[in-house]
Amino acid sequence: MGKTRLLVLLLCLCFCTVLNEAIQQLSSGTTEGVAKAGNSSQNLTEEEAQLFLQKIDEEGARRANIYNHLSWSFQTNITDYNREKLLSSITSNMGETYSKGKICDFFNSSKCDLSLEPEIEHIMKTSRNYDELKYVWKTWRDKVGRPVRCQFSEMVELLNEAAAYNGFETAADYWLFDYESKSFENDVERIAKQLHPLYEQLHAYTRRKLREIYGEDKISKTGPIPAHVTGNMWAQSWINIYDILVPYPNKTSIDVSETMVNQGYTPKIMFKKADDFFASLGLERVPDSFWNNSLLEKPSGRDLVCHANAWDFSDGKDFRIKQCTRVNQNDFSTVHHELGHVQYYLQYKHLPHIFRRGANPGFHEAIGDVLDLSVSTPKHLHKVGLLETYDIDDEADINFLLKTATRKVAFLPYGYLIDKYRWNILRGLITPQNYTKAWWKYRYEYQGIEPPVERTELDFDPAAKKHVSGNIRYIRYFAAHILQFQFHKALCLLAKEYDANDPNKPLHRCDIYQSKEAGKALKEMMSLGRSKHWKEALKLLTGTDQLDASALREYFLPLENWLKANNEEHGEIAGWDGYETWLQKNK
């Protein structure tokens, strides 16, 4: 590492230390009694507690207490107040760096107004120029990752202090508390490992197809896949290289993006269609105010935080979505994802505020995706006039299953490693001195992905992702990718669209559209909000109270078998070189 780099690194570290000192000063201020978990019940006056008891049963009152102290942040003394203030200023500063991030065009260095959505994401999706992709991948990280490295390490300290304040050992324990299950962390680790063989097969097939495009010198036979050629800035979805991956190209295309444009689809129409699907199940439509209050596409010329999200204004009437929607099939899936959040809001709006939350955060992230599993089937796209004709045979099935796998299977290791990484930072197992080394170890070992350019401890690639710079937890999406197949299987049974013993009714061809029985079951589960433990909600809908990947495995089994055969046929060995081998190569 050059002298200047070392100097910059030392500067960065000492700056962080200075900031750290400032925090120590603040926290050595007067400290009255600290509000520890448990005495928070004194914050409910007697009559309020009675009201609570009248409104909900004993179990509810107990649960209300748990969430009471968690959801309201106490300012019990000046230190805590300053910590909260510092924490919010750091998170808003990091978030601002991310949302304002702009880079110059690879081919035109005077054009420097490229934002992540839509310009940069469009390049990552459509370019097949190895060097352009490498430039965009690196420059985005230079602009939004590197500059927030120090602030992130300060935030870690503050998060841990705040967590300790509430009686948690580290903020990782506070984050995991949300899942109300001692075994949750082990459960997700076990499931991630259980699904790794399926991911390895998809990875091996994808690596071969990419090698055919970019050549043996760029994509090795037994190594990892470079992160920048997967069609996605974070390599978390490979849907945008489906055109490279499609197993049987001579089958009727199942991509309806072009048809959506030709049929005059607008973002509003996309949301109307998704709203229609919820209504077809007997669920609620969004209120009229939704259409006036929401922001469904990026206003021209305005700098906007484009990352999609759904809002509950807690008045039982005002619900909104902000999304920079583009007319294409992938955004149509996001439309369903976001409306899934609003449907949950609508289904639990009658509950006391404290219970107006998903049974656990994974539930909230799964609802919309469950409907998308039906909407994305060729059968459904044909029903709604987006697909003129489609083939019904084994090869067409493999094309569809592979397309779904580029979104759902490719995502699994990524969805798992984001919080595994942050939990270990919060627990002090990963220190600022090896933020980058640890990050790429996880990216290598879980995802079989490598950076296209050398990384050092001046970089901070994790913050190139919205949820890291925005301090939004992520294991919820991994859980949602497991839950959504459990929900899908249960709903498909109710809709009589799936029968394990009928080869013409496999899980991946199910479309629950217009099934009132499926809608009723989903409604019953969502209307519980967080008033019951998520295991009860899960059991109510699926018959089991365990997070269980067997439904996902069953859905993709035909593809898993096909990939094994295809990889074997092409002499493609699933998996990639050991991490030590990779380290040696990149010395």
Helices (H), 34-148: 46-55, 58-71, 78-100, 121-126, 130-144
**Min separation Cβ 362 and ligand KAF, Å:** 10
**Nearer residue to Zn ion within complex by CB, 365 or 572:** 365
**Nearer residue to ligand KAF within complex by CB, 294 or 567:** 294
Residue 139 interacting entry, from Zn ion, ligand KAF, none, C-beta within 5 to 8 Å by type: none
Q: Which of 178, 187, 365, 369 binds Zn ion (CB under 5 A)?
A: 365
Helices (H), 410-471: 411-426, 435-442, 466-469
Residue whose structure tokens are 């269609």 = 273
Residue 310 interacting entry, from ligand KAF, Zn ion, none, C-beta within 5 to 8 Å by type: ligand KAF
- Who's near 406: CB < 8 A, 6+ residues apart? 202, 237, 238, 239, 241, 242, 245
**CA 554, CA 544: separation in Å to the nearest integer?**
16
**Nearer residue to ligand KAF within complex by CB, 290 or 411:** 411
Among residues 364, 467, 481, 508, which one is catalytic? Answer: 467
**CA 196, CA 223: separation in Å to the nearest integer?**
16
Which 459-488 positions form the footprint of Zn ion (CB under 5 A)? Answer: none
Asked whether 101 and 116 are in contact (CB, 8 A), the reply is yes
**Nearer residue to ligand KAF within complex by CB, 337 or 455:** 337
The one-letter code for the residue type at 532 is: K
**Min separation Cβ 367 and Zn ion, Å:** 9
Q: Site for Zn ion (CB under 5 A): how many residues?
A: 1
**Min separation Cβ 520 and Zn ion, Å:** 24
**CA 73, CA 43: separation in Å to the nearest integer?**
12
Indicate the residue whose CB is closest to Zn ion. 365
In which region does residue 19 sit, left (phi positive, over 0), alpha (psi from -120 to 50) or beta (all else)?
alpha
**Nearer residue to ligand KAF within complex by CB, 458 or 472:** 472
Indicate if the alpha-carbon torsion angle 362, 364, 370, 376 is positive or negative: negative
User: Which range of residues in 43-51, 69-77, 108-116, 359-367 is near Zn ion by CB under 5 A?
Assistant: 359-367
Among residues 154, 185, 338, 560, which one is catalytic? Answer: 338
Structure tokens at 563: 């990939």
Name the site residues for ligand KAF (rule: CB under 6 A). Answer: 307-310, 337-338, 341, 364-365, 369, 411, 472, 477
**CA 209, CA 46: separation in Å to the nearest integer?**
67
Asked whether 283 and 523 are in contact (CB, 8 A), the reply is yes
**Min separation Cβ 395 and ligand KAF, Å:** 26
- 467 among known catalytic residues: yes
- 228 among known catalytic residues: no
Indicate the residue whose CB is closest to ligand KAF. 309
Residue 19 interacting entry, from Zn ion, ligand KAF, none, C-beta within 5 to 8 Å by type: none
Residue 286 interacting entry, from ligand KAF, Zn ion, none, C-beta within 5 to 8 Å by type: none
**Min separation Cβ 341 and ligand KAF, Å:** 4
**CA 346, CA 500: separation in Å to the nearest integer?**
33
**Nearer residue to Zn ion within complex by CB, 365 or 497:** 365
Residues that bind Zn ion (CB under 5 A): 365
Catalytic residue numbers, as ranges = 338, 467
